[in-house]
Structure 1
Amino acid sequence: MSFLTSLRPAPLRALNLTRSLSTTPVSRLARMTIVGRLADSPEIVATASGQDVVRYALGTSHGPKDNRQTSWWKVACFAPEGGLRDLVMGLGKGSLVYLEGDCSMNKFQGKDGTPQTALSIVQRNVEILDRRDSRAEGQAEGESA
């Protein structure tokens, strides 16, 4: 066997293709991490089955200051009553959050009958990096009126 032959990678069948470096379970969903600011205060809406969902949008910016681009991400949180729901609902417009979510692409027909796709992001974890209180925001609006 020559020196160059010994440097050749082993065939794929001989490699161990398990997820040895990952501590997370295997998932069919894609995972997304976003650091962004809330576009507005979160809202609660009911699904067709009657389950409450907290919805909000995050904005992220990229590019040089003279040509900055903003992307908007719609997020859903199926949080039960309690601490997590109260935490998210207490956030005001402009709060900076770190979000981990599961993503999927959904295909549907638009109102005009054309096929469309939409990215769905379901919150798994959220951390508040800079909090803007929604109650203080409402008071400030009331004082300026």
Structure 2
Amino acid sequence: MFKFTALRTTRLPTAASLSARAFSSTARTSVARMSIVGRLAAPPEEVQAGGDRTIVRYALGTSYGTGDNKKTSWFKIASFTEGPQKDFLMSLPKGSLLLVDADARMDSYTDAEGNKRTSLNLIQRRLDIISKPKPTEVHEGDEEGLVRDPADL
């Protein structure tokens, strides 16, 4: 009934064309990114970053495990958005389910006791709201398996 015919209309790429980047003549740089789907631990807060610049900071909780082994990972995220985007981010309520794409960077520092520490810094690149909590979902207790108070971060 139907006859499938495959026509080869494109050339095979050469080694030179595979190594070249289509959109730029510069070399590829290293990239570290994370995508996180999680619940907003608390409403975002605006903090002073020096001078007249401000940063919006918030934490996302992601749950893993089952039953009594359920645990939560908390991720602190910084956003440099301004204007209406910043206002929208600041208006998100605790418990909102978000998808955040962020640049990831590991920083080393020495704490007050002289111990070397390493921290993961996440800078928001993109934010998608998957769902906002219904008024009945927001309560003081466990939020969809989030088992630790974000104030302890």
Q: With structure 2 as the length reference, what TM-score do the two structures score?
A: 0.68
- For 1:29 and 1:116, the matched residues in 2 are separated by 22
- For 2:94 and 2:29, the matched residues in 1 are separated by 32
CA deviation vs aligned residue, 1:3-48 (integer Å, no higher than 9, x gap) = xxxxxxxxxx99944567xxxx944330100000011010000113
Give yes or no for contact 1:96–1:131 (8 Å, CA) kept in 2. yes
1:59 aligned partner: 61
CA deviation vs aligned residue, 1:73-99 (integer Å, no higher than 9, x gap) = 00000012x221111101111110000
Alignment of 1:35-114 (within 5 A): 35-80=37-82, 82-114=83-115
SS of the residue corresponding to residue 104 of structure 2 reads strand
Residue 132 (structure 1) shift = 3.8
1:118 aligned partner: 119
Between the two proteins, what is the percent identity of the paired residues?
40
Aligned-CA RMSD value? 2.5
Letter in 1 for 2:74: W
Task: Verify: 1:131 aligned to 2:113, yes or no.
Answer: no
- For 1:48 and 1:72, the matched residues in 2 are separated by 26
Structure 1: which 5+ runs fail to align? 1-12, 138-145
Give yes or no for contact 1:53–1:77 (8 Å, CA) kept in 2. yes
Letter in 2 for 1:98: L
Give yes or no for contact 1:36–1:96 (8 Å, CA) kept in 2. yes
Structure 2: which 5+ runs fail to align? 1-14, 139-153
Higher share in helix:
1
Give yes or no for contact 1:38–1:58 (8 Å, CA) kept in 2. yes
Alignment of 1:8-47 (within 5 A): 16-17=18-19, 26-47=28-49
Number of aligned positions between the proteins: 117
Letter in 1 for 2:111: G
- For 1:50 and 1:105, the matched residues in 2 are separated by 26
Give yes or no for contact 1:91–1:132 (8 Å, CA) kept in 2. no
SS of the residue corresponding to residue 43 of structure 2 reads coil
Letter in 1 for 2:122: I
